[in-house]
Amino acid sequence: MTSQTALRRRTKHVLVAVSVTLGLLSCLWVLSFLWLQVFGTEGALPPRSRMPGVPSGATVTDESTECASGGCWRTITVVPAPGQSPEDLAHEMGLSEELRLPPTLFDPASVYVGAHSREGKLVVHLGYR
């Protein structure tokens, strides 16, 4: 066997291994997507990275995770910057109405983000639906 034949054989084995690995990862991603679609409301939480950014001047005073019969969600309470109303803060964060964030590569489910004002603060919630 020549060295060129051995190189081709090794290249073929590497390509097959990479293809199989990518295929398995794709299957796992699809399965996690289906799992979240079917069982997403029962105990699953979106990652913190899906929470909208808090603008400078505003302060996060509380962060919690809550669960009920409809599923689980993350909640943060934000105090607006001095002179800013909770409604203005919600508008600045892009939360004047409830948002549906599309799936991402690492979080294969839709995330819903909403906000409401309470006692001069903005309460932001994030969860799967």
Residue 46's pLDDT is 85
45: phi then psi, degrees, rounded to nearest 5: -120, 135
pLDDT digits (tens, 9 = 90+) for 19-73: 999 999 999 988 877 877 776 556 778 888 899 999 999 999 999 998 887 778 9
Residue 112's pLDDT is 92
Residue 42's pLDDT is 67
Residues sharing a CB contact under 8 Å with residue 129, sequence separation 6 or more, in sequence order: 40, 41, 71, 110, 112
Tokens of 84: 């800013």
pLDDT digits (tens, 9 = 90+) for 65-103: 988 877 789 999 999 999 999 999 999 999 989 999 998
**Helix extents (H) in the chain:** 3-39, 86-92
Spatial distance between the Cα atoms of 128 and 112, rounded to a whole number of angstroms:
6
More confident residue, 59 or 106: 59
Q: Are 76 and 58 in contact (CB under 8 A)?
A: no
- The mean per-residue pLDDT over the stretch 12-20 comes to 94
